[in-house]
Structure 1
Amino acid sequence: MKKLYCFDFDGTITYKDTMFMYLKFYNPSKFRVQFVKHIPLFILLKLKLAQTEKVKKSFIGSILKGQLQTKIEEKSKQFFEENYPKIVRENALDFIQNIDRENTESLIVTASLDIWAKPFADKLQMHLVSTQAEFKNGVFTGNFVGRNCNGKEKLERIKKQISDAKYDKIIAFGDTAGDRPMLNWANEGHYQFFH
Structure 2
Amino acid sequence: MSRQSPASSTPLADSAEPPLTPDTLVLDPQASRVLSVFDFDGTLTRHDSFVPFLRFAFGPRRFHQRMLKLALPSLGFLARRVARDQLKARLINVFLKGIEAAWVQQQAEAFCQRSWNQLMRPAGLLAVTDELRSGAQVTLCSASPALVLQPFAKRLGIELIGTELEVIDGVLTGHIVGNNCRCENKVLRLESIYGPLEQYRLRAWGDTRGDRELLAAAQDAHWRHFHPAWRRGQLAR
Q: TM-score range by the shorter chain?
A: over 0.9
Deviations 1:139-185 (A, max 9, x none): 00001111100111111111112115732x21101000110000011
Question: Which of 16, 27, 32 pairs up with 2:58?
Answer: 27
2:231 aligns with none
Aligned length: 194
2:13 aligns with none
Identical counterparts, % of pairs? 28
1:177 aligns with 209
State the TM-score, normalizing by the size of structure 2.
Answer: 0.78
Unmatched segments (≥5 aa) in structure 1: none
Do the aligned partners of 1:23 and 1:60 also contact (CA within 8 Å) in 2?
no
The one-letter code matched in structure 2 to 1:41 is: P
- The whole-number CA distance in structure 1 between the counterparts of 2:55 and 2:101 is 18
Counterparts in 2 of 1:164 and 1:154: CA distance versus 1, 3 Å: closer
SS in 1 for 2:37: strand
2:43 aligns with 12
Q: Give how far 1:42 is off.
A: 1.6
The one-letter code matched in structure 1 to 2:177 is: V
Moved more, 49-58 or 137-146: 49-58
Q: RMSD between aligned alpha carbons?
A: 1.5
Do the aligned partners of 1:30 and 1:63 also contact (CA within 8 Å) in 2?
no
- The whole-number CA distance in structure 1 between the counterparts of 2:225 and 2:118 is 19
Unmatched segments (≥5 aa) in structure 2: 1-30, 228-237
1:124 aligns with 156
The answer to whether residue 187 in structure 2 is matched with residue 150 in structure 1 is no
Moved more, 185-194 or 155-164: 155-164
Deviations 1:39-85 (A, max 9, x none): 22123223332122222121122122111121111111111111113
The answer to whether residue 109 in structure 2 is matched with residue 60 in structure 1 is no
The answer to whether residue 125 in structure 2 is matched with residue 93 in structure 1 is yes
The one-letter code matched in structure 1 to 2:151 is: P
Q: Give how far 1:102 is off.
A: 5.2
Q: Give how far 1:100 is off.
A: 4.2
Do the aligned partners of 2:162 and 2:181 also contact (CA within 8 Å) in 1?
yes
State the TM-score, normalizing by the size of structure 1.
Answer: 0.93
Counterparts in 2 of 1:100 and 1:141: CA distance versus 1, 3 Å: closer
Deviating beyond 3 angstroms after TM superposition, the runs of 4 or more aligned structure 1 residues are: 100-103
Counterparts in 2 of 1:100 and 1:31: CA distance versus 1, 3 Å: closer
Q: Which is strand-richer, 1 or 2? A: 1
1:43 aligns with 75
Do the aligned partners of 2:69 and 2:94 also contact (CA within 8 Å) in 1?
no
The one-letter code matched in structure 2 to 1:12 is: T
Deviations 1:81-123 (A, max 9, x none): 1111320001111111222445410110100001211111111
- The whole-number CA distance in structure 1 between the counterparts of 2:116 and 2:207 is 20
The one-letter code matched in structure 1 to 2:53 is: Y
Do the aligned partners of 2:36 and 2:131 also contact (CA within 8 Å) in 1?
no
- The whole-number CA distance in structure 1 between the counterparts of 2:131 and 2:211 is 21
The one-letter code matched in structure 2 to 1:17 is: D
Do the aligned partners of 1:155 and 1:182 also contact (CA within 8 Å) in 2?
yes
Do the aligned partners of 1:132 and 1:146 also contact (CA within 8 Å) in 2?
yes
The one-letter code matched in structure 1 to 2:50 is: M
